[in-house]
Structure 1
Amino acid sequence: MVTDPVTGEEGVRVRYLDQDGAAFSEKNFASGRLAWLGDPRLLKAARVEITTRLTVDRDGRHDLGFAGIGGFTFEIDGESVSTEPLAPVGGDPVIALLNPPTRVFPQELTHGRTVGLRLIWTTAPMGDFPLGVVQLGYKDIFGDPAEELRRAVETAATSDLAVVVVGTTEAIESEGFDRPGLALPEGQDELVRQVLAANPRTVVVVNSGSPVVMPWLEEAAAVVLSWFPGQEFGDALADVLTGAREPGGRLPTSWPAREQDVPVWDVEPQDGRLAYTEGLHIGYRAWLKQQQNGGNAPALPFGHGLGYTSWQFGEPAVGVSADRVVVEADVVNTGARHGKQVLQAYLSRPGSAIERPVAWLVGFTVVRADAGERVRARIEIAPRAFQHWDTEAHAWATESGPFTLRIATSAADPGHTVTVTPAGE
C-alpha cells in the first residue's frame, strides 16, 4: 500500500518546483501512475517531486523503481540509489511515452515495513506541449512460475468453480504501437489449459483491448471478453458472474482461431508506404470472402455475443419507400429472465456487375424483453446502403434489380433472408 506522506491518504504527493526549488503547486494523486496532458504546470516547473510511503504486506523481495523519460533522482529511505537519466528507446516518441523505459532496484523487506520513496523528475515535455508520463512504486515479485502454476491448479481442483483472468496490458498493446502477434503473453494459455483440466467449471475472462487467439476456447465452460473495462472492472465482473447483470455486449471485431487464418495480415509499411490490396474486403468482409473461397471461418464472428437468456425471431417483413427501407421482425425472449438481443441487417448482391463485399452491414437494432415477452424489432436502412460510386458519372448510383437482405445475430449467422428492391433504382 502507498500513502501520501503529507495527508496519510492513499496515493502519492506531487510537488511542482521552480528553478529555485520552491514548490508553487502540489496535490495528491491516487496512485504512482502519473500522466499529464495539457497541464501548464508541467511547462512552468523545472522539476517535479513525487513522494510516497510504501508499506509492504509480505516478507521477501520487492522491486522498487520508476519509469519515464528525462532526468531522475531516486531515493529509498532518504538514500539516493539512482541519478542517471532515462532516454527513450527507439525512434517513436509515442511508443516511448506510452511504454517508457524503467529502472528497478530489488529490496529485501519484511511484512509491515514502511519505506519512503522520493523521485525528482527533471521534466522533458514534448516541445511546447505539456505532456508526460511517470511511474513510481513497486512491482510484486511472485514465486517461481512453475510453483505458482502448480498452486493455481491445486486451488482450482479443490474449488466449486474457477475464474481465470488472462489478457494483455498497456505495455503489450496500445494505440501508439502494434502487437507483434495475437497470442496471449507467455504462460497464460498453459495456465488456462491446466485449470480447465483440473476443474471443468471454469470461467475464463479475457481482458484485452483487441482480439487474441484462444486455443482452449472450445474446452472452456464460459468465456467472458471484458476488453479494458477500467477501475470498476472488479465490481462489473462480479455483477456479470453472479448474474446480477447480463453480459450484453456484441463483438465489434472478428476473433480468429489461429493467426494463420487471418485473411488480412500484411499491415507493415514498406519504404513508408502500405498498399491496401484488400480493397473493400476488410474486417468481417474479408472473413466472408475467405469463407466463400473455401477458407477458414473465425472462431468468433463480428456481431457475436451471448447473454443469460435465449431468443427466437420470425420472418422479417420489408417495406420500401422513396427515402428508406424498413425491415421488421417479431422477436421472442424464450428464456427465463430479462435480456438483450441485437438484430443486424446485412445486404448482399450475388452476381453484381461491380465489385462488392460478400455482405455488408447496413443497420442494427437493440431489443430488450422480459422472459416470454414478444417485441417488434425495426431496422431502417437508408438508400445509400444500396448505392455504389459510379466512376463515369462521378455520382452515387443504385444497381438495378433485387438485393438480398439478411437479418441475423452476427456476420456468420444465416438468420432469415428476404429479397428487396430499393425504390428509385
Structure 2
Amino acid sequence: MNIPEIVSQLTQEEKASLCSGGDFWHTKAIERLGIPAMMMCDGPHGLRKQNLVSDNMGINDSIPAVCFPAGCATASSFDRALVRQMGEALGNECQAEDVGVILGPAVNIKRSPLCGRNFEYYSEDPYVASQMASSFIQGVQSQNVGTSIKHFYANNQEHRRMSSSSELDERTAREIYLSAFETAIREAKPWTVMCSYNRINGVYAAENRWALTDVLRGEWGFDGFVVSDWGAVNDRVPDLEAGMDLEMPASGGFRDEEIITAVRVGRMPEAVLDQAVTRILTIVDRYLCGRNPKAVFDREKDHALAREIAGQCMVLLKNEDQVLPLKRTQKAAFIGAFAEKPRYQGGGSSHINSFKVESALEMAKGCCVTYAKGFAAESELVDEALLAEAVEAAAEADVAVVFAGLPDSFESEGFDRKHMELPLCQNVLISAVAKANPNTVVVLHNGAPVEMPWISEVKGILETYLCGQAVGGAVIDVLYGEVNPSGHLAETFPRALRETPSYISFQGEGDRVEYREGVFVGYRYYATKKIPVLFPFGHGLSYTTFAFSNLRTNQVVYHRGDRVEVSVDVTNTGDRYGKEVVQLYIMPQIETDAILRPVLELRGFEKIGLKSGETKTVHFTLDRRAFSSYNIQRQKWMAERGDYIIACGDSSENLPMQQTVHIEGDLPIPKCITMDTTFGDVLRIPGAANLVTPFAAVFGATNESADENAMGESTAEMMEAMMQYMPIRGLISFGGGTVTTRQCEELIQKLNVLAEAAEQKYES
C-alpha cells in the first residue's frame, strides 16, 4: 500500500471517516482505493471476538475461545518467556480469526486493592508491569498481529471512570503511572496505544497533548496510532490535535462532520488530519502484509498451554508443617462451590466465551476425594445445612481443601469493590472447617487481595488468582505436587483495607481524585512506613528450598555512563526440582531532604529452574536510570550522588544478600537561586562555600565557642542549623543593617553562574 499516494487521493470526507470506526470493532474500509477494514478484538487473556450484535461489556455472545490466566495471575509468574509464549498463542488465534489488533495488554498500576479491574492489571510495581507487557506484546506481534497497550494513563479505578480527574504531580506520573507503559512502548513497540476514559489534572486523556504527543511520541518514539477506549471521546477536534487518531466505536458520521468543518473553516490544519490518517493506514497495511490465512485456532492445544501457564502462576502463600503437596492416597475433602464450578475470569470487556472449563473436582480423578458444596457461590449468607455438611466431610478426611474466593458480583469492569472481605459465608466456613480438621488448606479464586481473618487457623493457602479455563487441572497439578509452585506476588496483600496507602483518597471527592500517596504505592509505602502486611510483594513459597550467596558487583564506585553489573548465586537446597524468582532491589542511603524516596524499589528479577543441589549464577545489569528519580524542577531523571544498597532475595521483605555501592551521580543543585533559596541548598553547589563564608558572621556561625545557651544547645550547632535552613533574604533581616538587598542580589547572581557552570561541566 503506497500510503502517501493514497492519502493524496482521499477526499476530506474520506479522511475524516477513517478517523472513526466503521462499526463496533472494525476500522472503515474505502473500497475505491483498496483500503480494507481491520478488526480489533478485546483481550488480553483471551480472544473475545463477538459474532452477533456487538457490545463491549460482554453481554452478547462471542466465539468459543480459550481463556488464559488473567493479568493478576500471569504477572505472578514473573516469567517473561511464559508470558511471551501466551502472547504467541493469542497472536496465532487472531490470525486464524482474521483479527488485526488485540486490545491488550492492560498495564495500569494497582493503586488500591479495590479497583474493580485489578484482575486484568499486572502489578502495583511499574517495572513488573512493563516487563510483563513487553513480553506479551513481543509474543503477539511475532505473529504479525498488533497489540493495544492500555489504558493510557492514570486509570486506576472504575468509579466515575468516564468523568473523574486523576490529580497527580509529574514525578508521581513519571515514576509510577507512566513508567508502567514506558519500557514496553520503547522496547516492544506496540502497534497501537489505547487512551483511557479519565481526565489527568483536568484534561481528558484523549485530548492530553502532553501525554499523547510530547511524551508518547516525542520522548518514547511511539510510531503507531492512538485509539480511544470505546466511548472515551469528549471533543473530537481537540482529541485529534492532541494525537488521538482513531475514535472507537463508530460515531455514525456525526464526529466526522466536526473534523471536516474544523478543517474547512481553518480551525485545524488539514495536515493534522493527514497525519492521523497516515498513522491509521500504516497499521492497516501492516495487518494486511502480515496476514497468515493458514493459521489454525487449535483450541485443545491452547487449552493445554493455558493449564501449563496457570500452574506456573499460582502462589503458595502458606505451607505450615508441609501440609502440601498432598498424596493421592490421602483422603481429601474438597469443600466449596468453586471446587465444582471455579471462578476463573473477571467480568466486563475481557470476558471470554470459554469453549470448555475444567474444575478441580472433575480433574481429581484417581485421587481419594469427597465433595461438599459448603456455600452458594453468589451468596453472602451462611447456609447452615451446607455448613454442617462441609464440617462433617472435613472431620472425616485427612486433609480439608476449601475452595474460596470472590463471586462475580464482587469484582468486574465498571465498578470498584467496596471492601477487601470474602463473603461472610466463606469466612465462617473456613473457620468451621479448620476447627474440624487441623490440616486445612485454602485455595483462593480472586482477582485481588482479600483479608484473611482465619489465616492463623489454616495450614496452607494457595492463591490461584483468576487462572483461566484450565484452572481445575492446574490446581490439581500443584496440590498433588505434579507441579512445584513458583509464583510470587506481584502486589502486596495488606492486613486490612485501612492500612493501604490510598485508603483515604481512593475514588476521591466527586470527579476529583487526588493521588496523595505520590510515589509511595504498594510495597514502597509499607516498607517505608514499616507497616506489617499479610504477605509482602514478591512473596511465594515452593515445595523445595533455595539459598542465596556470593552477591558481587563489577566495581564499588560508579561514574556517569558506568553500568552496574550484579551477580548472585542461587542454590536449590531442597530435594526436588523447583523454580525461584530472584529479585533485585536498590535501597538509597542518601541522607538529604532533596527528595523523598521509598526505602527500596525493585529494579530487576529473573526466574530460574534448579535441580536439587544445583547452583546457578543470576546476572543483572543496572543503568543510571535504576538509581534515578524524576526531578520536576529540572524536568529530567537524576541519580543523586551517594551510597546505595543493592539487595537480592525472594521478596521485598526477605533480602539476605546486600552490598553497598557508591554512585557519583548528580548533586541536588537548585536550578535557579532566588531570595528564597536556603543556604543549605546553596552549599550543595561546588565552590559556593567560598561565596557564602563572608556572610557567615551574620548568624554567629564562625563562633568557635561551645558555650551552652539557654536552650541547652551549643551556640555553634544552633547557628549552623539556623544557617542551613535560612533563605538568602534572611541576611537582610538578621544582618543588623550590615547586609543590603543589593549585596544579596549580587550573591545570587554569582551563585547562579556557579550552578550553571557545575551543571554544564556535569553534562559534558
TM-score range (shorter-chain normalised) is 0.5 to 0.7
How much does 1:259 deviate? 2.6
Counterpart pick for 1:42 among 46, 53, 56: 53
Asked if 1:304 corresponds to 2:542, the answer is no
Number of the residue aligned with 1:290: 529
1:275 equivalent in structure 2: 514
Q: Given the alignment of the two structures, is residue 373 of structure 1 paired with residue 614 of structure 2, yes or no?
A: yes
2:436 alignment partner in structure 1: 198
Aligned with 1:397 (options 638, 643, 646) = 638
Cα distance in 1 between the residues matched to 2:642 and 2:580:
32
Distance 1:247 1:235 in 2: 14
Structure-2 separation of matches of 1:49 and 1:329 = 52
1:407 aligns with 2:645: no
Is the Cα–Cα contact under 8 Å of residues 310 and 334 in structure 1 kept in the other structure?
A: yes
5+ long unaligned stretches in structure 1: 1-34, 51-89, 94-124
Q: Structure 1 residues 400 and 127, CA, compared in 2 at 3 Å: closer, same or farther?
A: closer
Contact residue 347 and residue 362 of structure 1 kept, 8 A: yes
RMSD: 3.4
Higher relative helix content: 2
Deviation of 1:348 (Å): 1.6
Give, in whole Å, the separation in 1 of the partners of 2:60 and 2:403. 36
Instruction: Describe the superposition over 1:301-339 as per-residue Cα deviations: whole angstroms up to 9, x where unpaired.
Output: 000000110011113101257452121111111100000
Report the CA distance shift for 1:215/1:144 in structure 2 as closer, same or farther (over 3 A): closer
Query: TM-score w.r.t. structure 1 length?
Result: 0.66
How far apart in 2 are the matches of 1:49 and 1:371? 50
Task: Give the partner amino acid of 2:616.
Answer: V
1:319 aligns with 2:557: no
Looking at structure 2, the residues matched to 260 and 41 of structure 1 have their Cα atoms a distance apart, in angstroms, of 44
**Structure 1 residues 272 and 312: alpha-carbon distance in aligned structure 2, compared to 1, 3 A threshold:** same
Q: Who is 1:334 aligned against?
A: 573
Sort the Cα spacing of 1:410 and 1:37 in 2 relative to 1 into closer, same or farther, 3 A.
closer
Deviation at 1:422, TM superposition (A): 3.6
After superposition, residues 249-268 of structure 1 pair within 5 angstroms as: 249-266=487-504, 267-268=506-507
How far residue 269 of structure 1 moved from its aligned partner, in angstroms, is 2.1
CA–CA distance in 1 between the matches of 2:465 and 2:477? Answer: 16
2:604 partner amino acid: G
Structure 1 residues 198 and 234: alpha-carbon distance in aligned structure 2, compared to 1, 3 A threshold: same
| TM superposition shift of 1:225 | 0.2
The answer to whether the 8 Å contact 1:206/1:223 transfers is yes
Q: Deviations over 1:70-94 (max 9, x none)?
A: xxxxxxxxxxxxxxxxxxxx9999x
Q: CA deviation at 1:382?
A: 2.3
> Based on CA coordinates, which of the two structures has the bigger radius of gyration?
2
Contact 1:263–1:290 (CA under 8 A) maintained in structure 2: no
Q: Normalising by structure 2, what TM-score? A: 0.38
SS at match of 2:447: coil
- 2:168: which partner in 1? none
Deviations, residues 379-414 of structure 1 (Å, cap 9, x unaligned): 222220112233443332221122111112111114
Is the counterpart of residue 209 in structure 1 residue 447 in structure 2? yes
Tell me if the contact between 1:325 and 1:422 (Cα under 8 Å) persists in the aligned partners: no
Question: 1:186 matched to which residue of 2?
Answer: 424
**Structure 1's 40 and 239: CA in aligned 2 closer, same or farther, altered over 3 A?**
closer
CA contact (8 A) 1:264 1:286 kept: no
How many angstroms does 1:345 deviate by? 1.1
Give the residue type in structure 2 aligned to 1:384. Answer: R
Name which of 598, 601, 613 aligns with 1:360.
601
Separation (CA, whole Å) in 1 of partners of 2:441 and 2:52: 46
Partner SS, residue 245 of structure 1: coil
Number of residue-to-residue matches in the alignment = 311
Tell me how far apart the structure 2 counterparts of residues 311 and 172 of structure 1 sit (CA, whole Å).
Answer: 37
SS at match of 1:177: coil
Cα gap change, 1:157/1:326 in structure 2, threshold over 3 Å: closer, same or farther?
same
Equivalent residue letter for 1:318: T
Aligned mates of 2:656, 2:601 — CA distance in 1: 14
Q: Percent identity?
A: 33
Structure 1 residues 223 and 40: CA distance shift in structure 2, 3 A: closer
Q: 1:201 to 1:421 in 2, by over 3 A?
A: same
| Aligned AA (2:532) | A
Moved more, 393-402 or 164-173: 393-402
In the alignment, the residues of structure 1 paired with residue 378 and residue 656 of structure 2 have an alpha-carbon distance, to the nearest angstrom, of 51
Moved more, 178-187 or 409-418: 409-418
Distance 1:140 1:223, change over 3 A: closer
Query: 1:288 and 1:49 mapped to 2: Cα distance?
Result: 45
Q: State the Cα deviation string for residues 36-72 of structure 1 (Å, max 9, x = none).
A: 966474169xxx999xxxxxxxxxxxxxxxxxxxxxx
Alpha carbons of structure 1 residues 324 and 423: separation in structure 2 relative to 1, 3 Å: farther
From the superposition, tell whether residues 211 and 407 of structure 1 become closer, same or farther in structure 2 (CA, over 3 Å): same
Q: Which has the higher strand share?
A: 1
Other-structure match for 2:408: 170
> Does the 8 A contact of 2:382 with 2:428 survive in 1?
no
Q: Indicate if the aligned counterparts of 1:284 and 1:411 stay in contact, CA closer than 8 A.
A: yes
Change (3 A) 1:222 1:43: closer
Are 1:402 and 1:420, in contact at CA under 8 Å, matched by a contact in 2? yes
Residues 299/140 of structure 1: CA separation in 2 closer, same or farther (3 Å cut): closer
Query: What does 1:214-253 correspond to in 2, within 5 Å?
Result: 214-253=452-491
CA distance in 2, matches of 1:301, 1:420: 26
Given that 2:553 and 2:567 are in contact with CA atoms closer than 8 Å, whether structure 1 keeps it comes out as: yes
Q: Say whether the 8 Å CA contact 2:580–2:609 is kept in structure 1.
A: yes
Change (3 A) 1:372 1:92: closer
